[in-house]
Chain A
Amino acid sequence: MSINLKRILSLFTAGASCDQSDRRLILSFYLSLWFLLSAAMVNASVNTTGLAVTDKEVTVGILHSVTGTMAISETGSVQAEKLAIKQINDMGGVLGRKIKYIQEDGASDWPTFAEKSKKLLVNDKVAAVFGCWTSASRKAVLPVFEQYNGMLYYPTFYEGLEQSPNVIYTGQEATQQILAGIDWVVKEKGAKKFYLLGSDYIWPRTSNKIARKHIEKLGLKVVGEEYYPLGHTQFNSVINKIKLRRPDVIYAIVVGGSNVAFYKQLKAAGIDPRKEKPLILTISVTEDEILGIGGENIEGAYAAMKYFQSLPNENNKRFVKAFKEMWGDDIVIGDVTQAAYLGPWLWKAAVEKAGSFDIDKVRAASPGIELHTAPEGYVKIHPNHHLWSKTRIGRALRNGQYELVYETKELMEPDPFPKGYQ
């Protein structure tokens, strides 16, 4: 109601250019008045801002690419979010309301993401959006979420350098993934020389920057740093360089289809990850990517993540079982998929703590929300809207899974603007 009044006022003051929409606005104002009055008093108290909430249902949005180049990566997230929503509904929903989702396709195209997020927030009035995968898509929708005050649950591990009141980051920011991994490889494997490699965009570059600072802080050496365009398929030159510089560790942040080319060519050139000479440590290859690379090509490489499908705790066993029941037996679950699964649960917990679907109240309730049932173990929302999580190191197996070889004792504190690493 108040929003509509404000809009009408602002439109009147804005000048002549918007006359024709006034009648529609006033009409919609009366309609919504009627709607609100006829709705039960219960509904009014949990939803004061006109979100799409009825007595029986609450609508949320799912916004990922199901077409285009990113569909490869984002499919798992969509599946995880749908699973979480189904499980929540089976348990009775949120504040007694079943969750209904509207799915939109970002089509791997950043303006489409912005367009669809606006549709979800303005037309569909969703109470929360679970979505986005790449940093570019998040950057494209961010102004929309801030302008229309929406809530986005973003699942991917990413470069940090961001902290929006309208986003809950359920993946790791860069330091959570990098620092403990490098510490481990230095302590356990005695690594001294590192070769940094990545696809050419912001996440690998920022991550490698943090890695380089950390390596240099430890008094060790970076012997090479290299970037290739997204989708590059010829890595023989860089493999030659790696052979010449003889690093102890190849720190690889290659993404997407390039991964397949990289690991196949690496193995063919005689650098077998199993020999650990050099050792390969990656933060970009989840179980999803191994499907394309082939377990036999990457067996023996290490990955620093917060979740592996093989984690041996009870939460995870239940999660993997439910996931396979819903989406088929031969499916694999990667780090981001698990983070996407957390989104609806964290939102549910925050809504229930706030006793309301209002975005502002959910935001205020979010810091400190704990989830003991998370497949990765236990997570908690930090006041900076990122999650406290552990860093885990896994070793790739021939069957495409990782075996857990190390995990940090304590939860790592999220630090999107790390001092001394910028």
Chain B
Amino acid sequence: MSFVSFRATFSRHDLVYIGILAALLFAILPLFLDIFRLNLVGKYLTYAFVALGLVLCWGYGGILSLGQGVFFGLGGYAMAMFLKLEASDPESTKIQSTPGIPDFMDWNQITELPWFWEPFYSLPFALLAIIIVPTLFAYIIGVAMFKRRVGGVYFAIITQAIASILTILIIGQQGYTGGVNGITDLRTLLGWDIRTDSAKYILYYLCCFLLLVCLVLAKLITKSKLGRLLVAMRDSEDRVRFSGYDVANFKIFVFCVGAAFAAIGGAMFTLQVGFMSPSFVGIVPSIEMVIFCAVGGRFSIYGAIYGTLVVNWAKTTFSESFPELWLFAMGALFIGVTMSFPRGLAGLYSSYVEPFILNRWKQLKSKQNLKVSAEQARV
């Protein structure tokens, strides 16, 4: 994808949409929200990474993964491991029987750092691991499944089982993973305190920036030949296969991209929230993320982001005002969206709002034209 095709990839509409989103994230929200609310938005945006990946996998590729939490979790844990090692220097852990290792290991009578924790002393390694470990894992799952033509419902259920296996494993191996509590009390990144308000601002902007980068990447993918092939596969896999394409490879690729996006989201989550726990790996969060994507519109890259923001904002508001009713509201939202608006917010937008705007635009233009022609006539 070279710059030559830039105009072909990003229509004027896209540029407007990206501009509006950027203005919302970078200027409007920070201006109107205090740092507490803004930090919450930052947390929601980390889920938007997952939703973005789901648009690619599910909306375009037709593969519904109910295990995206696995990749979100792996990315988040990789980040958390680095931060935890930094927080457990021998000085601040001198109360432990083995100083210098994370506190939960000490509680579990582990006396030296396990080998797979060692490399996480290095930030470059941790950053690489955030992307590579989940992507590799997705690759393995993808190869095993798609090469054997497992798809649709079966894929959904197997990914769900994988999410459940990983959760039990993390909780069971608490000496190495922090168990059900997760990895908590993360403080600094290379000496920089991530808990202060100014750090929260910077991390929020970093998160927005990365999200926009991922969005542009996703847009590139959907507008490329690969994107069109994915849609073709979703609608009729056999025809694409008979045309001579190796369907599995495309699916594996897009699944890996989705995993990498989710992992970045997980890492940003750890940074902004300050801990990581197995409750993001399991089935419930994974399905919730699918819902974010569905509400926004599974075929729309922009929709995924707005959907995530709207659902999470509703969740927070509902649970603040009517804690006992929010499950009703969420349940009704799920059912309503899938039954009545399968294309989500984006679908509503493109069938009602967009034509309206275009019409007004045309009316304005034609009025102007009329004026102009009238003036010309007078002259």
Contact = CB atoms under 8 A, between A and B. Distances in A.
Given A104-B323, A115-B43, A143-B184, A201 B174 contact: yes
Contacts of B97: 422
B273 A111 contact: yes
Given A21-B30, A229-B168, A139 B181 contact: yes
A140 B319 CA distance: 18
A17 B201 contact: yes
A201 B326 contact: no
A8 to B, nearest CB: 11
A161 interface: yes
A11 B195 CA distance: 14
Given A107-B319, A227-B172, A10 B196 contact: yes
A140 B275 CA distance: 7
A24 interface: yes
A201 B201 contact: no
Contacts of B375: none
A248 B207 CA distance: 57
Contacts, number: 129
B197 interface: yes
Contacts of A91: none
Given A205-B108, A206-B107, A140 B198 contact: no
Most buried by B among A115, A118, A159, A230: A115
Contacts of A136: 180-182, 277, 279
Given A14-B198, A111-B273, A227-B172, A66 B323 contact: yes
A136 B185 CA distance: 12
B10 to A, nearest CB: 28
Size bracket of the B interface: 35 or more
A125 to B, nearest CB: 12
A104 B197 contact: no
Interface in B312-353: 316, 319-320, 323-324, 326-327
B3 interface: no
B133 interface: no
A200 B36 CA distance: 34
A163 B378 CA distance: 87
B180 A201 contact: yes
Given A18-B197, A24-B34, A111-B279, A202 B179 contact: yes
Given A111-B277, A422-B97, 18 more contacts: A7-B197, A14-B197, A14-B198, A14-B201, A17-B205, A20-B30, A21-B34, A103-B323, A105-B326, A110-B279, A112-B319, A135-B180, A139-B181, A139-B182, A143-B187, A205-B174, A227-B172, A229-B168
B31 interface: yes
Contacts of A202: 104, 107, 174, 179-181
